[in-house]
Amino acid sequence: MNIIVTGGAGFIGSALIRFINDHTDHHVLNLDKLTYAGNLDSVADAAKSDRYQFKQHDICDTGAIKAVFEEFMPDIIIHLAAESHVDRSIDGPGEFIKTNIVGTFVLLDVARDYWASLEDEKRNGFRFHYVSTDEVYGDLGHGDALFTENTAYDPSSPYSASKASSDHLVRAWHRTYGFPTLITNCSNNYGPYHFPEKLIPHMILNALDGKPLPVYGDGSQVRDWLYVEDHAKALYLVATKGKIGETYNIGGHNEKTNLEVVHAICELLEQYGPAKPEGVSDYKDLITYVKDRPGHDVRYAIDASKIQKELGWVPEETFESGMTKTIKWYLNNEDWWKRVLSGDYQLARLGSGR
């Protein structure tokens, strides 16, 4: 098949492309604007394959998106391209509205016209898979039941509101036009190639440099942590085997407070890390508490029983095994994250090409 992955130079998108390249014979087109979080270094091995293409376009550019569809003739679209950092959405929500809502509309509109033009067999096999987040559900109290696919939406930040808006658009395109859509809502991802502004890589790299480890509030906020390679397998499974019109929650079954996550990072660095920076006797001594972010959700926790029952997916990694792999990856791949920190990774913005 021909599969378009939007946002394929991002964290989750690149993991998905690596999975498809390594475990299938499908052709993949990576469609990415290459904003600050897009990094072609993350798909360097896949780019060596003749089954991989890259196009640098903004998903809001209707003409460019139409041209991609006409040239590549996709069978499946897996749409991950999004602005995704909550703090950035609080400081500047406009870009989140544009990319996450308008961009999704453009893709839906172009994809529907393309789908309508297909011959029956190809038309019947076409799928549009939208990758969303558990943050659309708002937050839970510490004793509340898990998020299910039927939980009412209650987004708290401009980021989660923009993702919720896109979820509604995707469902409307299915119900109004019969367009073949799927939605997945995932919990917090972690693992290799994660952009350093996110919690886990930020803490790892700060600790290695002897810098403070800033924890919002008292660190009691709970997240369900999902290893990114487990997520990639689930996305491919839903895109190829999921039931049209359905939503599937994807969670890691690993609820941890932010403080527990930071403690785990410190303990693993004590075990596997290099010599500590000068003046650091214990990585946990670097933990500092900072003012909480506005509207900070208390707890996210996903019930992923539907995808397990219907498609047979369960995460392979525990939090402990996934975090160990993550720590070791960052310790063994300094070139990747140093190019990000220096900004050199952005030199890969060369336009489009294979």
159 is catalytic: yes
**Length in residues, the chain:** 354
Residue 35 and residue 137: Cα distance in Å, rounded?
Answer: 27
For the question of residue 134 being annotated catalytic, the response is yes
Cα 323 to Cα 250, 264, 272: the distances in Å are 18, 8, 12
Task: Dump strand ranges (E) for 94-250.
Answer: 127-133, 181-186, 188-190, 213-216, 222-227, 247-250
Catalytic: which of 41, 58, 75, 134?
134
Query: From the CB of residue 6, how many other CB atoms can be counted at a distance below 10 Å?
Result: 26
- Which residue of the set 135, 167, 255, 303 is catalytic? 135
Between vectors from CA 199 to CA 196 and to CA 200, what angle results, nearest 5°?
Answer: 80
Q: Determine which one of 159, 227, 236, 248 is catalytic.
A: 159
18: tokens are: 């690596």
197 is catalytic: no
C-alpha distances out from residue 212 to 120, 203, 290, 339, 348, Å? 59, 9, 11, 22, 31
Instruction: Residue 217: count other Cβ atoms within 10 Å of its Cβ.
Output: 14
The tally of CA atoms less than 13 A away on the side-chain side of residue 341 is 12
How far apart are alpha carbons 182 and 325 in whole angstroms? 30
CA–CA gap between residue 111 and residue 72 (Å, rounded): 12
DSSP 152: P
Question: What are phi and psi for residue 132, nearest 5 degrees?
Answer: -115, -160
Active-site residues, by number, are 134-135, 159
